Amino acid sequence: MTSGALRRVETELPSLPEALRRVGEVILDDPAEAARSTIITLAERAGSSPATVTRFCRAFGFSGYAELRVALATEMGRAAQAGWGAGVGHEIGPDDPIESAIQVMAQEDARILQDTAAQLDPAIVTEVAEAIVAARRVLLVGVSTSANVASMLEGRLRRIGIPVWSTGDPHVALADAALLAEGDVAVGISHRGRTREVMETLVEASGHGATAVAVTSSARSPLADLADLVLTTASWEPAFRLGGLTAVHSQLLVLDAVFVAVAQRTYERTNEAFHLTINAVESHRVERG
């Protein structure tokens, strides 16, 4: 992970043990200074030890502090070049002009997408896509906003002939999961990875031999722990924009990558399906006047 490090630290900070959380807080407080500091200096600022800093690095997939420093320096440079500033985000105040708020929103959404793409593992995307192509049944489940995201992916996969269902109803989800079998796929979508209904559905699906996939912003979440394959998203929660809403952009990017990988592996069938479905709905399109 050479990009999106600050987003992941910010997202997962509350779930870290206290000693690791202090290290994360020091890094988030001044990422540029952390990128310049030695491991001893950072440990002193966090009131911890170099060993604790090393454990923090490994918790986020880095081999050690040197690799984390490189990632932070890279991210700071990218942020400066894009005009994002050194911080991890800008808050919108109640008195900000709407023009300014829109600009901040556009910059933050663009950054979320960039961070998501940077941390997305192509090998996992490929594995998920291949499992979906081979599956007899694919179940997509989410609650609230994530249910809408699941429904959008269902529509795209169904249109190219994938046997897929989505639901936001926990009872329906559990019933559908009970009908899955070995070789089938269940995809659970949850921003924080702590939605009980989604977790229960993955447990039920796994119990019948299905491959469990988690789409979440936290690789350390309970949902991720239950999954065979995990696709992580980047997100943050600024004022007036709750995480469930800002997470949609990154969730859609991840699932769109899965869709494209599926379409690549079913190229001839997908092209034919596109042709047939476009013709089927063409009569409902209004011609330009």
- Give tens-digit pLDDT for 133-162: 999 999 999 999 999 999 999 999 999 999
Chain segment 35-50, per-residue pLDDT in tens: 999 999 999 999 999 9
Q: What share of the chain is helix, strand, coil (3-state, %, to 5)?
A: 65, 10, 30
Contact 234, 109 (CB under 8 A): no
CA 117 to CA 114: how far, in whole Å?
A: 5
CATH no. of 1-83: 1.10.10.10
129: closest CA among 203, 66, 213, 30? 213
CB atoms within 10 A of CB 132: 24
Q: Are strands 211-216 and 138-142 parallel, antiparallel or unpaired?
A: unpaired
CATH no. of 122-277: 3.40.50.10490
Same fold, 1-83 and 122-277: no
143 or 80: which leads in pLDDT: 143
Contact 188, 204 (CB under 8 A): no
Domain boundaries, the chain: 1-83, 122-277
Q: Which residues pair with 164 in a beta bridge?
A: 138
Q: pTM, whole model, 2 decimals?
A: 0.75
Residue type (1 letter), 84:
W
